[in-house]
């Protein structure tokens, strides 16, 4: 009888290089698109606030803070200095008993300009050392190859993902990773949250909002190029490393019809297709789904394809699927439906759900639903690559952090993951998002904290940078020790 987590279940945590590493320009790193946020005129605070409307402080407060510090402020350039502190942090992960660690590889650390002839050896050495450290501590490595940051030079020189040249440069770069890190990585994930390209164009496909004549057209053309790159990488990985596990990922926007009105039920099917299935269908089935033809016609989107593109997509299907899961939303035909914030999108509000401090709708059962829906559709193993609660925490004078709200959140989601496993879904692992506090991706602040490890840095990047264990650290340690039996 299936009673829950299999004995080889992977328990871990996830971060991304641009939000954690710091080490800006250290050891030959080039500038990435995430290093530019706030500096890039197209990515200003107002825009971020509009998208993530619950930003913790006002523009005036932010500007004063910058002035006081006398520096220009690019939070991702500092991160939490994981680049220099990774040994200390990995020791904490290991103390918790984590057996998998997910992070991303920074393209501009390996190829500072993206089109350099030779890789930066120091960048490669860093990843060899860091991944070897994980192995030494008994952790598998789950490596994201592209998590929103590409070398800026590729955007200024070639137009980023608009240009097919970027596909070749990306594939060449990944070949170097496979050659140099193939023995250290257990799970490869070429592109973080594929559908981010649609909903957060700068992060996902390096398009500058307001600078495209036909934004929709540009987005889907870029996505097509990413699909091709993705498929080529999967195929190449399988050829170079026959036992490799290479997977796809989306930000999963779990969607329910707002009512049992047939119009709402139909809307839910469409929303799911356009926001979720389109991406996983291509990565898992190797072809564009039929339902997108009508969508493309409706928005006058014409994707430029070349002769071999269909074959390339067919030949590069994934071994597993992964997703981030933070919230669910409802689909409605009512244009005036109340909205609330969500990961990458504004979501339609569900009156039955509570929201987090940042307005995201918390729905543990939605995780079980998602796992069942995805497994039913593809029958591929699933990996929960991200899930967690972003909220502010208080560091007490004695160095403790009492985050029972985070424990409640994680507990309720892990319980539902267990139910899904008992339902028959094959789940490989769970990498909690932001296992250690990092710069948040939307608002770019430190006080939207996800970690079970607290990092003493404030929104202006000031603080000791010291690490402290939150109550949730000890709780998660126990969950891992008992393989989820004592939830």
Cα separation, 328 vs 364, whole angstroms: 9
47 is catalytic: no
Closest distance of CB 203 from ligand BG6, Å:
8
**Per-residue x/- marks for ligand BG6, 292-311, CB under 6 A?**
--------------------
Span near ligand BG6 by CB under 6 A; candidates 123-131, 134-142, 303-311, 438-446: 438-446
Which of 224, 230, 349, 448 contacts ligand BG6 by CB under 6 A? Answer: 448
Cα separation, 86 vs 21, whole angstroms: 9
Residue 344 touches ligand BG6, criterion: CB under 6 A: yes
Per-residue CA distances from 207 to 117, 132, 152, 190, 199 (Å): 26, 35, 12, 19, 11
Residue 251 touches ligand BG6, criterion: CB under 6 A: yes
193 is catalytic: yes
Which of 16, 55, 340, 459 contacts ligand BG6 by CB under 6 A? Answer: 16
Residue 440 touches ligand BG6, criterion: CB under 6 A: yes
Cα 33 to its chain centre, rounded Å, is: 16
Residue 192 touches ligand BG6, criterion: CB under 6 A: yes
Pairing mode of beta strands 354-355, 245-251: unpaired
128, 38 contact by CB (below 8 A): no
Which of 160, 248, 364, 390 contacts ligand BG6 by CB under 6 A? Answer: 390
Tell me which of 47, 50, 88, 193 is the catalytic residue: 193
Q: Whose Cβ is closer to ligand BG6: residue 153's or residue 192's?
A: 192
Residue 244 touches ligand BG6, criterion: CB under 6 A: no
Tell me which of 50, 61, 263, 386 is the catalytic residue: 386
Closest distance of CB 435 from ligand BG6, Å:
12
Nearest Cα to Cα of residue 19 among 458, 466, 434, 455: 434
370, 325 contact by CB (below 8 A): yes
Closest distance of CB 386 from ligand BG6, Å:
6
- Strands (DSSP E) found in 105-176: 140-146
Cα separation, 230 vs 68, whole angstroms: 44
Residue 446 touches ligand BG6, criterion: CB under 6 A: no
175, 236 contact by CB (below 8 A): yes
22, 79 contact by CB (below 8 A): yes
Cα separation, 167 vs 210, whole angstroms: 24
Nearest Cα to Cα of residue 289 among 306, 307, 269: 269
At 331, phi and psi to the nearest 5? -105, 135
Closest distance of CB 6 from ligand BG6, Å:
26
Q: Name the 3-class secondary structure at 415.
A: helix
Which of 195, 324, 340, 356 contacts ligand BG6 by CB under 6 A? Answer: 324
425, 438 contact by CB (below 8 A): no
Closest CB to ligand BG6: residue number: 442
Which of 90, 441, 453, 455 contacts ligand BG6 by CB under 6 A? Answer: 441
Cα separation, 142 vs 435, whole angstroms: 14
Q: Whose Cβ is closer to ligand BG6: residue 267's or residue 328's?
A: 328
Residue 32 touches ligand BG6, criterion: CB under 6 A: no
Total site size for ligand BG6, rule CB under 6 A: 15
209, 283 contact by CB (below 8 A): no
Cα separation, 474 vs 428, whole angstroms: 23
Span near ligand BG6 by CB under 6 A; candidates 68-76, 160-168, 174-182, 437-445: 437-445
Residue 195 touches ligand BG6, criterion: CB under 6 A: no
Which of 89, 133, 149, 193 contacts ligand BG6 by CB under 6 A? Answer: 193
Catalytic residue set: 193, 386
Positions in the binding site for ligand BG6 (CB under 6 A): 16, 19, 192-193, 251, 324, 343-344, 386, 390, 433, 440-442, 448
């Amino acid at each position: 009888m299936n009673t829950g987590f299999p004995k080889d279940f992977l328990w871990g945590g996830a971060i991304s290089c641009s939000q954690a590493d710091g080490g800006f320009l250290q050891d030959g790193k080039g500038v990435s698109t995430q290093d530019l946020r706030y500096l890039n005129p197209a990515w200003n605070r107002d825009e971020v606030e509009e998208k993530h409307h619950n930003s913790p402080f006002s523009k005036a407060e932010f500007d004063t803070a910058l002035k006081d510090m006398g520096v220009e402020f690019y939070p991702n350039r500092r991160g939490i200095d994981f680049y220099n502190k990774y040994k200390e942090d990995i020791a904490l992960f290991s103390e918790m008993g984590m057996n998998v660690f997910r992070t991303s590889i920074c393209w501009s650390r390996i190829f500072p300009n993206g089109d350099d002839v030779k890789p930066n050896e120091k960048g490669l050495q860093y990843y060899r050392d860091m991944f070897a450290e994980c192995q030494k501590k008994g952790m598998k490595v789950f490596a994201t190859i592209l998590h929103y940051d590409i070398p800026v030079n590729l955007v200024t020189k070639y137009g980023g993902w608009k240009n097919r040249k970027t596909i070749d440069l990306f594939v060449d770069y990944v070949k170097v990773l496979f050659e140099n890190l193939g023995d250290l990585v257990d799970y490869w994930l070429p592109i973080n949250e594929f559908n981010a390209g649609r909903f957060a164009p700068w992060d996902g496909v390096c398009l500058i909002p307001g600078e495209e004549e036909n934004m929709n057209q540009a987005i889907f053309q870029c996505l097509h190029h990413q699909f091709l790159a993705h498929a080529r990488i999967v195929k190449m990985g399988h050829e170079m490393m026959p036992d490799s596990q290479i997977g796809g990922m989306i930000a999963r926007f779990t969607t329910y019809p707002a009512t049992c009105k047939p119009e709402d039920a139909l809307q839910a099917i469409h929303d799911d297709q356009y926001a979720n299935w389109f991406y996983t269908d291509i990565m898992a089935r190797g072809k564009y789904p039929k339902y997108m033809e009508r969508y493309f016609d409706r928005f006058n989107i014409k994707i430029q394809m070349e002769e071999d593109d269909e074959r390339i997509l067919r030949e590069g299907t994934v071994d597993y699927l992964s997703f981030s899961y933070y919230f669910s939303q409802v689909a409605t035909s009512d244009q005036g439906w109340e909205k609330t914030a969500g990961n990458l999108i504004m979501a339609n509000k569900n009156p039955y759900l509570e929201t987090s401090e940042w307005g995201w709708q918390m729905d543990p059962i939605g995780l079980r639903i998602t796992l069942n829906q995805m497994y039913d559709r593809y029958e591929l193993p699933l990996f929960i690559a991200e899930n967690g609660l972003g909220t502010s925490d208080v560091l007490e004078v004695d160095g403790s952090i009492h985050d029972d709200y985070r424990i409640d959140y994680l507990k309720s989601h892990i319980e539902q993951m267990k139910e899904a496993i008992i339902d028959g879904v094959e789940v490989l692992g769970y990498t909690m998002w932001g296992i250690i506090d990092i710069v948040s991706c939307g608002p770019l602040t430190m006080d939207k904290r996800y970690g079970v490890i607290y990092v003493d840095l404030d929104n202006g990047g000031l603080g000791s940078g010291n690490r402290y264990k939150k109550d949730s650290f000890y709780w998660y340690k126990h969950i891992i020790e008992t393989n989820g039996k004592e939830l």
